[in-house]
């Protein structure tokens, strides 16, 4: 079942946990969300919105359930889902997926046959799914990206975030216990 708008209109940390086990779908490509990170407007120097609204981070201040895609290190795109109330400037980074459907396309996009390396990191999953800045600020209700529910009730572990200079000490990374597709 497609997750409706109200699913995303919850506090960011709650959404980061609630997304685990759900399915990210883009056309014929399906991946189970196995790792996320929360980015908070207040008290989080790792959040793109912590200094206020800019043209780059504007989607984070929009309604929940929209995408925020940005480009880092001159080579990787990162997919976030806007959370909370309009104007809050918060989002959840999708850090890793477990590939479910469309593996051949993902392997071609990533140029690797190794299934465990297809979506085990934010840059890897956007490359596997073919996501770029053109997928920024899109509604997950209208598509082409969607999030579908699952019946899974995963055991969730928490740690500090990965790859940050500022705010890396905050315990805002969430992942499914024992899942081999979680980023390293």
Residue 115 lies in a domain: yes
| Domain residue limits at 46 | 5-172
Residue 180 lies in a domain: no
Q: What is the pLDDT of residues 111-164, one digit of tens each?
A: 999 999 999 999 999 999 999 999 999 999 999 999 999 998 999 999 988 877
pLDDT attached to residue 166: 79
Q: What is the pLDDT of residues 150-171, one digit of tens each?
A: 998 999 999 988 877 777 788 9
**Which residue, 25, 38, 32, is CA-closest to 152?**
32
CATH number of the domain to which 107 belongs: 3.10.300.10
Residue 48 lies in a domain: yes
Residue matched to tokens 């969300």: 33
What is the total count of domains within the chain? 1
Residue 183 lies in a domain: no
pLDDT attached to residue 50: 77
């Amino acid at each position: 079942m497609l997750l409706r708008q109200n699913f995303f209109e919850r506090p960011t940390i709650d959404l980061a946990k609630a997304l685990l086990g759900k399915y990210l779908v883009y056309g014929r490509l399906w991946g189970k969300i196995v790792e996320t990170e929360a980015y908070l407007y207040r008290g989080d120097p790792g959040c793109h919105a912590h200094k206020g609204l800019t043209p780059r981070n504007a989607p984070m201040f929009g309604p929940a359930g929209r995408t925020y895609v940005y480009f880092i290190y001159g080579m990787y795109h990162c997919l976030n889902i806007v959370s909370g109330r309009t104007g809050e400037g918060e989002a959840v980074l999708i850090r890793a997926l477990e590939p479910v459907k469309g593996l051949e396309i993902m392997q071609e996009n990533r140029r690797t046959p190794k299934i465990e390396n297809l979506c085990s990191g934010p840059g890897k999953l956007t490359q596997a799914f073919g996501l770029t800045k053109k997928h920024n600020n899109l509604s997950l209700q209208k598509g082409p990206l969607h999030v579908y529910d699952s019946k899974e009730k995963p055991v969730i572990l928490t740690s500090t975030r990965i790859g940050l200079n500022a705010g890396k000490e905050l315990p805002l990374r969430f992942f499914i216990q024992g899942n081999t597709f979680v980023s390293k």
